[in-house]
């Protein structure tokens, strides 16, 4: 119980496995004189899901801490920049129904809440456009930085769109060649236990028993360790989030100079929605839908019509159907095993929450890595409490997109306005009379901060009656100043920043400067 943890074993590769391996390996290599060994066992027969192509801005810090050059990452993983998401036809279903959820915070967000002043004023523009320049950058096809901006630095906050398969391979090479992670390509045939229920080793076909003191389950939907071995129950949230199927296809770019959107496009359908993610050589497009509200054939036809708008015939392309079981395990750390990624749970890819959950899970494991088995249960308790909270907040945030909709063209949208989680109901009641703010949430660090709620609420036409308390003259003057400054900043950045594809081409040719 008091012996140091010498060995960490990760079951499963893919993006989740290799992000965990790289995050932990980089941290322990930097901080420990005798760091534990890290072994990743990856089945040669199990393909990765490979459709998680959107990230959050946190990925920049994750990759930098792992010692990865941003230039190499962009070149080898077919990366494009992501500055937010555009939601089309989510509110009314009409053609002009559209709003942005940018990745930049509203101006001076730590000092003033501009939402009440936008609600009270007559800015003549959308909330996102009034408080942040990123809407303007996206519409004009501009990049979030210049070629002279150093690696991982930003002019406008950004994340990435990437080729998930290439990314997993890129991470594997870096982890093995640079960070010293041991890679075993083999099948696990048996899970072996100590008398106290801890996992002692994993028996493999060709490498015998692989022992360890901490096991990380990144085995995907199978949840080989946490789900199958420990029988930790799965908590479905299908009663709240109905999406349980996805059809995915890659649409080739018609030419090397085709513009690339620097934001995810999410277009609502009668049963679900279609994602559209631009990469340098193709677009990743998919339709998520509820099998209880429509058939796969109907979803296929919706996807076909969407692809045809850009001249693509999906009958001639490979379309994958992916089952989704929305929900998560009732706990994520049991004994000496912790689940990360799909083995912990999965939700529809509406706000790119899958990879950010992997990142923050790996970071918490690395930062609070138990020194011995005797302290592991304390860390596990904290981990479980933290991530149960985070999963519920993500479920609430995704539901927000649906329950605010005024669409009445199908049972899917009508049903989505019912069965709203109680915490979300309370927040919506609160926000009828005051604009969202960080103090509305329990945790100091949220996956989705108050600003994200503001962008969705006011992008979808939610109303907050600010008349109960009124707004001070001093605050009104400060807000007007910020609105003017934002307009000027938007104009300046529109002149200073390059075209998105132009910047990517320059990075391929010259690379970004290192700090």
Residue 367's CATH number: 3.50.50.60
Q: What is the pLDDT of residue 472?
A: 84
**Shared-domain flag, residues 338 and 220:** yes
Single pTM value for the model: 0.95
Q: What is the pLDDT of residue 290?
A: 98
Q: What is the pLDDT of residue 375?
A: 93
pLDDT digits (tens, 9 = 90+) for 102-137: 999 999 999 999 999 999 886 689 999 999 999 999
Q: What is the pLDDT of residue 513?
A: 87
pLDDT digits (tens, 9 = 90+) for 412-465: 999 999 889 999 999 999 999 999 998 888 765 788 999 999 999 999 999 998
Do 295 and 117 touch, CB atoms closer than 8 A? Answer: no
**Shared-domain flag, residues 152 and 167:** no
Indicate whether 76 belongs to any domain. Answer: no
Pairing of strands 282-289, 234-236: unpaired
pLDDT digits (tens, 9 = 90+) for 133-160: 999 999 999 999 999 999 999 999 999 9
Question: How many separate domains does the chain show?
Answer: 3
Indicate whether 95 belongs to any domain. Answer: no
C-alpha dihedral, 436 to 412 to 296 to 162, nearest 10°: -10
pLDDT digits (tens, 9 = 90+) for 503-515: 999 999 999 988 6
Indicate whether 63 belongs to any domain. Answer: no
Q: What is the pLDDT of residue 297?
A: 97
pLDDT digits (tens, 9 = 90+) for 77-108: 999 999 999 999 999 999 999 999 999 999 99
229, 217, 225, 215: which is closest to 8 by C-alpha?
215
**Shared-domain flag, residues 270 and 141:** no
Q: What's the rounded Cα separation, in Å, for the pair 25 and 278?
A: 31
**Shared-domain flag, residues 351 and 434:** no
Domain limits for position 175: 7-53+163-236+326-392
Q: What is the pLDDT of residue 47?
A: 72
Q: What is the pLDDT of residue 144?
A: 98
Q: What is the pLDDT of residue 122?
A: 66
Indicate whether 304 belongs to any domain. Answer: yes
Indicate whether 74 belongs to any domain. Answer: no
**Shared-domain flag, residues 189 and 266:** no
Return the sign of the alpha-carbon dihedral for residues 416, 421, 422, 423: negative
Q: What is the pLDDT of residue 468?
A: 60
**Shared-domain flag, residues 177 and 191:** yes
Q: What is the pLDDT of residue 466?
A: 75
Q: Is a pLDDT exceeding 60 seen at residue 215?
A: yes
How much of the chain, in percent, has pLDDT values that exceed 70? Answer: 97
**Shared-domain flag, residues 427 and 462:** yes
Of 298, 323, 348, the domain-final residue: 323
Q: What's the rounded Cα separation, in Å, for the pair 74 and 498?
A: 17
Q: What is the pLDDT of residue 146?
A: 97
How much of the chain, in percent, has pLDDT values that exceed 90? Answer: 87
* Phi, psi dihedrals of residue 491, rounded to the nearest 5°: -65, -40
Q: What's the rounded Cα separation, in Å, for the pair 363 and 155?
A: 26
What mean pLDDT value characterizes the chain? 94
Indicate whether 397 belongs to any domain. Answer: no
**Shared-domain flag, residues 260 and 374:** no
Q: What is the pLDDT of residue 50?
A: 57
Q: What is the pLDDT of residue 515?
A: 63
pLDDT digits (tens, 9 = 90+) for 37-87: 999 999 998 776 655 589 999 999 999 999 999 999 999 999 999 999 999
**Shared-domain flag, residues 492 and 408:** yes
**Shared-domain flag, residues 229 and 331:** yes
Q: What is the pLDDT of residue 444?
A: 59
**Shared-domain flag, residues 458 and 346:** no
Indicate whether 89 belongs to any domain. Answer: no
**Shared-domain flag, residues 425 and 472:** yes
Write the CA distances from 74 to 66, 316, 410, integer angstroms: 15, 29, 41
Q: Which residues pair with 269 in a beta bridge?
A: 272
Indicate whether 467 belongs to any domain. Answer: yes
């Amino acid at each position: 119980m008091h012996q140091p943890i010498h060995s960490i074993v990760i079951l499963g590769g893919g993006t989740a496995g290799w992000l965990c391996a790289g995050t932990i390996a980089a941290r322990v290599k930097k901080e420990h004189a005798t760091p534990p060994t890290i072994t990743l066992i990856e089945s040669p027969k199990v393909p990765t899901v490979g459709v998680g192509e959107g990230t959050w801005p946190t990925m920049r810090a994750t990759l930098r801490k792992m010692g990865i050059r941003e230039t190499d990452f962009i070149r080898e993983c077919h990366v494009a920049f992501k500055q937010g998401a555009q939601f089309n036809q989510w509110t009314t279903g009409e053609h002009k129904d559209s709003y942005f959820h940018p990745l930049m915070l509203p101006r001076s967000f730590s000092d003033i809440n501009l939402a009440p002043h936008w609600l009270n004023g007559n800015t003549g523009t959308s909330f996102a456009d009034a408080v942040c320049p990123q809407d303007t950058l996206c519409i004009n096809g501009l990049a979030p930085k210049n070629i002279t901006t150093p690696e991982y630095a930003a002019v406008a906050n950004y994340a990435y769109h990437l080729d998930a398969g290439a990314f997993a391979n890129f991470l594997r090479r870096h982890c093995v060649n640079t960070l010293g992670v041991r890679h075993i390509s083999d099948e696990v045939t048996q899970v072996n236990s100590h008398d106290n229920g801890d996992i002692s080793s994993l028996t493999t076909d060709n490498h015998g028993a692989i022992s360890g003191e901490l096991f990380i389950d990144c085995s995907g939907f199978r949840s080989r360790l946490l789900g199958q071995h420990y029988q930790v129950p799965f908590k479905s949230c299908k009663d709240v989030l109905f999406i349980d199927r996805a059809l995915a296809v890659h649409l080739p770019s018609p030419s090397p100079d085709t513009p690339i959107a620097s934001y995810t496009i999410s277009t609502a359908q009668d049963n679900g929605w279609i994602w559209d993610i631009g990469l340098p050589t193709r677009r990743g497009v998919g339709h998520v839908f509820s099998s209880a509200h429509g058939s796969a054939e109907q979803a296929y036809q919706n996807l076909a019509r969407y692809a045809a708008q850009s001249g693509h015939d999906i009958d001639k392309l490979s379309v994958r159907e992916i089952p989704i079981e929305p929900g998560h395990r009732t706990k994520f750390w049991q004994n000496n095993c912790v689940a990360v990624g799909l083995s912990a749970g999965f939700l529809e890819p509406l706000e790119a929450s899958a990879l950010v959950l992997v990142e923050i899970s790996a970071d918490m494991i690395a930062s609070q890595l138990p020194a011995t088995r005797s302290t592991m249960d304390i860390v596990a308790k904290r981990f479980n409490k933290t991530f149960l909270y985070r999963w519920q907040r993500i479920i609430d945030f995704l539901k927000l997109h649906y329950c605010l909709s005024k669409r009445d063209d199908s049972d899917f949208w009508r049903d989505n306005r019912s069965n709203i989680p109680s915490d979300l109901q309370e927040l919506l009641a609160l926000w009828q009379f005051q604009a969202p703010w960080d103090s509305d949430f329990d945790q100091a660090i949220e996956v989705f901060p108050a600003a994200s709620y503001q962008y969705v609420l006011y992008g979808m036409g939610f109303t907050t009656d600010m008349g109960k308390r009124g707004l001070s003259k001093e605050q009104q003057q400060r807000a007007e100043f910020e609105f003017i400054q934002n307009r000027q900043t938007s104009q300046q950045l529109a002149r200073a920043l390059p075209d998105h594809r132009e910047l990517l081409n320059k990075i391929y040719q010259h690379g970004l400067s290192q700090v």
